[in-house]
Amino acid sequence: MAQPKTFDIAKYCEEMEQDIGPQEGEAKLFWQALSFAVSAHQDQKRKSGEAYVSHPCRVARILVREMEIRDPEILAAAVLHDTVEDVPEVTTEVIGEIFGKNVEEIVDGCTKISNFGGSKQAFYKIVHRKIFSGAASHVEVMIIKLADRLHNLRTLDSMPKHKRQKIADETLDIYAPMAKVMGLYNIKRELFDLALMFKFPRQSTKVLANIRQMAESPQLAEIRDSLQQVMDKAWITAEVKTRCKGLWAYYDPLNRLLDKEIKNPTEIFILVNNTQACYQALGLVNQLYPPIPRTIRDFIANPKPTGYQCLHARANIKGQNYLLKIRSHEMERAGRLGALSQWSSKWKTDAFRQELREMFDILGTDDDLSYREMIAASGKKEIYTYTPRGDLFCLPAQSIVLDFAFKIHTDVGQRCGFALVNKKRVGPEHRLQDGDQVEIVRQKKPVDFNPHIQQLCQTPKARSGLARMFRFRRQVLAHGIGQSLVLQELKRYGIANEILDKDEMADLRDYFQVSSNEELFQGIGEDRIHLRELMYEIKNGLYAGGSPLEPPTGALNRIVLSSLDSAGIKFSRCCLPLPTEKSLFGLLSERGLSVHRKDCATFKTLAVQREDVVELRWQLKKTPLPTKQSLYVLETSRNRLMMMLSVAPEDMQLQEIIALTRRNSKLTDWEVNFKVNDLFGLKNILNHFTKTGLKFEFILDL
């Protein structure tokens, strides 16, 4: 039986003294925290049998040795980060009293939620959002969590298989991509590599064997030696190194697979003393190995937001593509440390760290966004775009005009009507390319963007800004619906509307946990507050002693609309209702109004009460229809289609007619694209095609 591992605390203290200084020096707070942590975790063991305090101690050492952090408060928080979670006697208040408010807040941000009664999936979401919220106030929270996860992965062998898989999945989805977003590339690579070895043990072994074989390639050694000789002959002090990319480069996050091969598996590094030598070395490299056209990237003149600086050049050498990276030793350090490269008490003024804070705030508070998607998008390769004045904006690859607009300012994004990209007019959904010059043209009022555009955006700020706009539009719709339902229900029971203004309504609002009638109406419109329950409280509380009327059996409240806002109105796929029809029913929810036909089979299976359903009608002449529509005419000859279109209502503004099939017979399927001003015109068009006897299909496009 294997002996449990031991942790030599005395040796650890000696090593940390060498790294950060003596116990009575500037790092005194850390040493006090270390003593506290040793005492708090005294009787606790890890799965490996080692003293539990070894884990927070080594997390602090990762911060010191691999992230070059010397701040005593961060190191104190690191060594204390598990005390509140694992020691019942220790609370965040205790941490604050002994070590200060800042350490307390960082430790609280690192502490998991202990009491939760929901599903595991919901629990993990809350845990992650709490970490993001803590990191929004203190980026140190995420830094400690990354070091914490790195040490856990290094010692994961002692955990059961299902735990290893769960931790590996979480690392691949959140922590490793987050390290990349923060510019901590060494940490990113190791997190990915370790997680992938636990996630794909067999495939990883094969890929690693291929990587080792490439590293021993004579051709790679020959290239390295040739470059070193060229540098030496030019009297440039340089160190040429080669690196075969690790498992991290073979991971396909979209399909969650480990690829067997990648296009550019090898990198060549040339480290020089200063910036001028970088450009001299690039000239020599280009003479020896001519670059592939349009592949030279100057990240020295245009650093990445993380502070990364380097010259990139790609060359094809003996049939193999290689990426050559040229940088100074200081650039190498800054690139390795990312957001930590210039850590100081004034770091809050740094633009990149402010962007990190903003991103963490969005990830921690906005339930409408998938934080996994946002982290992945933020970690994509960058493109560089410019304003007409020459201001540089770095965006994730595949960003659209709206990402650029929100990057400038939230108000600019909200009112982005269109843009001039390289002096050519394009819409907000236009995808930007590297080097584009972008000028945003704003409208006077916020634009009613279609919700689909949110999926095209690549930046958390744009997606979050749009989510807030869509939420506001849903809330306005819900408020109007809720108010109408309450007033109709009061009338149905013979109760005067003035009852809503009585002082006693305050108690009723408290009961439903709202502060105003407006919030009450919105809650009804979103089905968070049930109309049936509200009316029960009004009848038996505020109106007690009166004699309300009994409502007609099965009578539904009616909502009349003049909008097709897709942010709040969803036409169900199960029965494909149209707003021009009668006998439409609506179901209320926080996500908006779900529209069904009266005879919808799915709707009939729902267990709902009268108050949960509303009858819907649209004001046809007052409801605009700004989007292009498509009508599909089936098995019709060209002549007959053209004849029917020639006598179609004037409301139909034809845009395009497309033949969808080519058959030997004269009958063809057609796509007819058109515009129409309002629902009244659409109804006329649909009635016309119904009377023609043509077979056709129409689905409303919003």
85 is catalytic: yes
Pairing label, strands 613-618, 584-589: antiparallel
d(CA 204, CA 220): 23
Contact in structure between 138 and 73 (CB atoms under 8 Å): no
Task: Report the distance separating Cα 65 and Cα 61, nearest Å.
Answer: 6
Q: Contact, 397 vs 459, CB < 8 A?
A: no
Q: Residue 402: how many CB atoms within 10 A of its CB?
A: 31
Residue-wise over 326-351: b if at least 16 C-beta within 10 A, else e?
Answer: bbbeebbebbbbbbbbebeeeeeebe
The CA–CA distances, whole Å, from 192 to 125, 170, 175, 258, 508 equal 21, 11, 9, 11, 54
Nearest to 686 by CA among 565, 606, 581: 581
User: CB under 8 Å, gap of 24 or more: what pairs does 661-670 form?
Assistant: 666/637, 666/638, 667/635, 667/636, 667/637, 668/635, 668/636, 668/637, 668/638, 669/632, 669/633, 669/634, 669/635, 669/636, 670/632, 670/633, 670/634, 670/636, 670/641
Residues in the chain, how many? 702
* Torsion sign across C-alpha atoms 318, 322, 327, 333: negative
CA-to-CA distance for 543 and 535, rounded, in angstroms?
10
**350 noted as active-site residue:** no
CA distance 31 to 9: 12
- Name the amino acid, one letter, at 388: P
**If you write DSSP's letter for every residue of 627-642 in order, what string do you get?**
S-EEEEEEEE-HHHHH
Out of 14, 85, 93, 697, pick the active-site residue.
Answer: 85
Dist CA 547 CA 674 (whole Å): 56
Q: Using alpha carbons, select from 590, 593, 604 the residue that is nearest to residue 570.
A: 593
Yes or no: say if 401 and 449 are a contact pair by the CB < 8 Å rule. no
Q: Which of 86, 332, 537, 615 is catalytic?
A: 86
Q: What's the helix, strand, coil split of the chain in %, to 5?
A: 50, 15, 35
Q: How many CB atoms lie within 10 A of CB 655?
A: 12
Residue 539, SS3 per DSSP: helix
* Cα-only R_g, the chain: 32
| The two structure tokens encoding residue 519 | 């919030």
Residues belonging to the active site: 85-86
